[in-house]
Structure 1
């Protein structure tokens, strides 16, 4: 977008009582943010959902002045801005009704032809939660996903650090402008994140830091991704809000179950109990449920004596597929006498070993 377009879009964003949904409605009707701000009041009032309360402070001159100041900040800090109608704007976020009209970015983020998942959870993550999160990222690394989180304490920074360790892109969605770092102790991770990934926010440099910003930020975490994974959560928490938002976007949600007596598992257990999330018992559940495929150069080489490397359960499935050729998951589970979730996990492990391959229609066959 041109500097003039950005200026007027920032000015529209600055108007009180106009959120992203209303702004999109106005732009859709008038064509551009400049046309919206130059339109007569009586014409704006004819637009569905636009009333006098929305337009209360609409025509004040300070909106353009504030936009000019933010423009100076954007230019001087080499910040990339994505407009919701541009190709550079994240594709999945385009389908979210309340996605930001402007998204500010730092770093080197490349979203093209990439799997994107969000990992969220408790700030006071347990040792087992850390271990599961790190194992999850390590297992998913061959699929080269982008790991999205909120750059906060606990689960967020654990996910970001694991992504950096395994050379994956990682994106931190911030609840403040790009002139701040919160928490300050995480500043030491920013350089590594921006080398292969970076940060997104829809907050201005002039926005005051507020706890409510975190809830608003969560819609970007959920909206960017094809799936949101909740590692741990108490009965109430911000990660559950992210999961609810992801569900409202018709995205997949996964939750790691825990013992009923574990405080940090109550939120995850409730998500599963109320069928708001898939139960995540092994990292391999994620690529299976999302139908991810490994690229040829990432697949393990098939060895002649691979059969001896299979465990007893894998041998049962291998023998069944060898005899019956292509079969669907539920059929395999029934004939091999095991739950579907267990069969899915075993099949994925066998795929990674290179002894079977998935086919369209959730069919599997021996290689």
Structure 2
């Protein structure tokens, strides 16, 4: 990219009161970020939503010295940057109206993976939540999804660590510049994170950790993913905000249900009750709802689907015989026809079998 255009993008990103939506509008109007700064003050002010005050900020002489300093940091630290109108910008984030015009990245991140999940939740993860997340990651691992989270305490860091354990690419979206790590003790995982994915942010190196940055961070977490998974959450919290943002992007949301008396299940139960999230009880729910193609059918059946003893009988029968009539299955397995019909329906809902014309059934 032309260095002047990059400096202009950085300057526009730093201009007060000019968010990503307005920055994109300006670039669309004048043709490039560089062209925005070449315009006369009155022409910028005339753009709907800008006005005199914002135009003054854009024409400020302090923006480019700041941009040059940030560019120096990017070059010295060999950071990768991605611009919203370039081909290497993550496709899903391009569809987000408030996606960053530019964000920064370090590590070894590959955005070509079609399977991408964000996993979020409380910082006070319970033993039940940890156990579910461990099982979930083991079961979803054969599909090799990229796991995105926020590197915070609790659910976030456990999701990153489990992704590394199961050799999955994992990306941490930070609420500050990439010259620091927060929480500080999570720096112990930085090396593994860099080897298995990396870190991204749209904050500058001089932007330190601040709670007000969470909303900006959470929009990227939701925007990068096909779906957001909420493991545990109280009735209020950042993970619920991320889920709301994902809904606003028309992305799927999944939430793990829990007892109504459990503090850190209340948020998840609320999402499910309000039809803002699918109920997540097993990793199989993810490819089923999202329509992911199974890369290894035999492995998926074994890992994802829990079958009853009678379902295992029918499964093994179809595995050995291929397509089979319902009545023949009942006869050979010595079960009532109505019982086999019920079993096959349950297995169909689980995505294990599919019906064919003439009462024939086969494994998926």
Q: Same fold (TM over 0.5)?
A: yes
Question: Helix, strand or coil: the match of 2:57?
Answer: coil
Kept in 2: contact 1:106–1:199 (CA 8 A): yes
Partners of 1:273 and 1:334 in 2: CA distance: 33
Alignment of 1:154-303 (within 5 A): 154-295=154-295, 298-300=296-298
- Residue 336 (str. 1) matches residue 342 (str. 2): yes
User: 2:29 aligns to what?
Assistant: 29
Kept in 1: contact 2:287–2:294 (CA 8 A): no
Q: TM-score, normalised by structure 2?
A: 0.87
- Residue 101 (str. 1) matches residue 101 (str. 2): yes
> 1:262: how far off?
0.2
> 1:121: how far off?
0.3
Q: Deviations over 1:179-199 (max 9, x none)?
A: 010001100111111112001
Which of 308, 311, 328 is equivalent to 2:309? 311
Partners of 1:87 and 1:311 in 2: CA distance: 51
Question: Helix, strand or coil: the match of 2:229?
Answer: strand
Q: Deviations over 1:158-210 (max 9, x none)?
A: 10000000000000000000001000110011111111200110000011321
Question: Helix, strand or coil: the match of 1:119?
Answer: strand
Q: TM-score, normalised by structure 1?
A: 0.86
Q: Deviations over 1:126-181 (max 9, x none)?
A: 01101111111111111110000000000000100000000000000000000010
Question: Helix, strand or coil: the match of 1:229?
Answer: strand
Residues 36 and 134 (structure 1 numbering): CA distance in 2 closer, same or farther, change over 3 Å? same
Aligned length: 340
Structure 2 residue ranges without an equivalent (≥5): 301-306, 328-338
- Residue 366 (str. 1) matches residue 363 (str. 2): yes
Alignment of 1:31-110 (within 5 A): 31-110=31-110
Alignment of 1:108-187 (within 5 A): 108-187=108-187
Question: Helix, strand or coil: the match of 2:107?
Answer: strand
Question: Helix, strand or coil: the match of 2:213?
Answer: helix
Kept in 1: contact 2:113–2:146 (CA 8 A): no
> 1:244: how far off?
0.1
Partners of 1:90 and 1:50 in 2: CA distance: 28
Residues 244 and 152 (structure 1 numbering): CA distance in 2 closer, same or farther, change over 3 Å? same
Partners of 1:344 and 1:44 in 2: CA distance: 59
Residues 318 and 336 (structure 1 numbering): CA distance in 2 closer, same or farther, change over 3 Å? farther
Q: Deviations over 1:299-355 (max 9, x none)?
A: 4389xxxxxx97323545787983269xxxxxxx995279x9x656743xx4xxxxx
Residues 116 and 214 (structure 1 numbering): CA distance in 2 closer, same or farther, change over 3 Å? same
Residues 263 and 343 (structure 1 numbering): CA distance in 2 closer, same or farther, change over 3 Å? farther
Q: C-alpha root-mean-square deviation of aligned residues, in Å?
A: 2.7
